[in-house]
Amino acid sequence: MLKEWVVQLVALAIFSLNSLIVVEHEGVSISKDFGVDFFFLSYHLLLFLFVNYYLIPRFFYPKKYFLFFIGIIGSIILCGIIEEGVFEKILTPDSRGANDITWQSIYWFFGEIIIPLLTFMTIKFVFDNFSQKQKLENIQQNRLRNELKLLKSQIQPHILFNSLNNLYHFALEKSDELPGLILKLSNVLRYVVYDAAEEKVLLSKELSFIKDFIDLQKVQYKGRGDISYKLQMESSSQSVKIAPFLLIPFIENSFKHSFGTKIKDIILNISIIVDGNQISMHVENNYEENRAKENELIQGGIGLQNAHKRLELLYPNQHKLIINNEDDNYIVHLNLTAS
């Protein structure tokens, strides 16, 4: 609002130069009728403010354009009549006030006032448009924040549920590997409860979380196929941050896709290479298409849907996701520029 008023005052000062300042051969001087001219400028300013702060919000924005047009014309005519019939008679009776009010004089007043009025209206529309855009951006940002919080709250229990299932399986078998799995799950829990509470986390922590998750899966599905992964990060990438749980849904989906459709001979390759703030992830797994169509668990799930949505919300124009499904191989390739 302050900037809007400052700009309008600057515009008024520009329009006042012609009447308040006299430029002659001898130089620049103040008008002899400075006080009178300043009064009329202030009077005109009241008209501008009336149009900007009453007619525009009352009639133009609610799309009552006819009433808005009539209001402007009526205001100018009324302002002209008062100026010429009252103020000029009192303040300048021997010059401007010596003439009677005619339609011609009102016409000339209209021509005198319309350019400054349109200028002030333009300033008003520009600032209102800017203010409206800011409000829409704030609403959009709040909506995105709330949506991301919801997505994150959905992802966290989803991952924990699967990890606890793995522990339950080994607890029943009284496996010697259970302590190591509990330690890995402890790391997962620490990440989920503490680190992932932030909007962004260090990419190195996200990769450690992914490693523990993959290790939990590898132990559970030992003997059913070949699971390999490569997580590589350059030293220059240690300070890079990323939204938590952004990459894991694609990895989790590959496990679910393969182990949900194949009994053995599973092939699953995961590669995440980080160079600077550039992330390249490649996930490939084999599966049996016929069994995938029959398995509702594989067809459903919220993880992969959320990953797509979060990429669009958090990294617009900063990622390229390619998913290919051919010859019973499911391939995901993601290039992402982290911030």
**DSSP calls for 273-306:** EEETTEEEEEEEEE--HHHHHH-HHHH--SHHHH
Nearest CA to 149 out of 182, 198, 102, 116 is that of 198
Read off φ and ψ for residue 222, nearest 5 degrees. Answer: -60, 140
Can you give the pLDDT of all 339 residues of the chain as single tens digits? Answer: 677 777 777 777 776 666 655 445 555 556 566 677 778 788 888 888 899 899 999 999 888 999 999 999 999 999 888 888 888 778 777 776 667 777 788 888 888 888 888 888 898 999 888 888 888 877 777 776 666 566 566 556 666 676 677 677 777 777 777 788 788 888 887 887 777 778 889 999 999 989 988 888 787 777 788 889 999 998 888 889 998 888 988 988 888 878 777 778 888 999 999 999 999 999 999 888 665 554 444 444 456 777 788 888 889 889 999 988 877 888 999 999 987
Query: Hey, is 22 helix, strand or coil?
Result: strand
Q: What is the pLDDT of residue 97?
A: 65
Q: What is the pLDDT of residue 84?
A: 82
Q: Give dist(CA 281, CA 230) in Å, integer.
A: 10
Q: What is the pLDDT of residue 319?
A: 93
Q: Give dist(CA 248, CA 304) in Å, integer.
A: 9
Please count the other Cβ atoms lying within 10 Å of the Cβ belonging to residue 179: 10
Angle at 313 between CA 295 and CA 229, to 5 degrees: 55
Q: What is the pLDDT of residue 301?
A: 47
For 289-298, write each residue's pLDDT tens digit. Answer: 665 554 444 4
Q: Give dist(CA 195, CA 182) in Å, integer.
A: 19
Question: How many residues does the structure list for the chain?
Answer: 339
Q: Give dist(CA 46, CA 54) in Å, integer.
A: 11
Q: What is the pLDDT of residue 280?
A: 95
**For residue 6, what is the enclosing H or E element?**
helix 2-20
Q: What is the pLDDT of residue 29?
A: 53
